[in-house]
A and B are shown apart, each in its own frame.
Chain A
């Protein structure tokens, strides 16, 4: 399977702290994406990082990509209670395929 694996499976932090989630994958990729899912809702795209990029920022989000280690991290700074959700990484299969392979997610709980 080309599925990504997130680590940790669950994370609980206090409001205002930073949250870091990691993703490892198995094959070469064109891009890696992070999605967020609130309980009982659909997934929402957060950020896309291409294979030739090493770091990307979007608001309080910082994503890094290390293609040599086949890993990525998502950092949420100054967390808020509203950040409580599950976070998924997803990778394409490299050239030609038309699918995103999702990991099993990290469940983040931000305690007010």
Chain B
């Protein structure tokens, strides 16, 4: 049972390049989330999904897009990377609304934008 798997684990981009981070979960969870973690800032929610085919904005959605075409996958895209998007990105999933349940996290994807 792999849980939540993120790919790639590391990536270096030049300003203006695009890329997609893939998150896959094998727990049949309805809810999926993308967070970014920056020093001294804690984790901040970028986008989330409450089920297949749905997406919604979080606290810091600008510069990112997401898609949830399959229940088990949640993709995070950067169309035109900027140095401010240098961060560690975490995907998480939950089997229940967060008012009642916990998050299961992936191991993170470290992105550097030069």
Chains A and B belong together in one complex: yes
Q: Mark B73-98, 1 if CB is under 8 A from A, else 0.
A: 00000000000000000101000011
Q: How many positions in chain B have a CB within 8 Å of any CB in the partner chain?
A: 29
**Contact A104-B40, Cβ < 8 Å, known A41-B107, A42-B90:** yes
Q: Mark A11-44, 1 if CB is under 8 A from B, else 0.
A: 0000000000000000000110101000011111
Contacts of A42 in B (CB 8 A): 4, 90, 105-108
Interface extent on A, as a size class?
A: 20 to 34
**Contact A43-B103, Cβ < 8 Å, known A98-B50, A98-B56:** yes
Interface contact A104-B41, CB-CB below 8 Å: yes
Give the docked Cα–Cα distance between A105 and B41 (Å): 9
Which of B42-94 touch A at CB < 8 Å?
Answer: 42-45, 48, 50, 56, 58-59, 90, 92
Enumerate chain B interface residues (CB-CB to A < 8 A). 4, 31, 33, 35, 40-45, 48, 50, 56, 58-59, 90, 92, 97-108
Enumerate chain A interface residues (CB-CB to B < 8 A). 3, 30-31, 33, 35, 40-45, 48, 88, 90, 92, 94-95, 97-100, 102-105
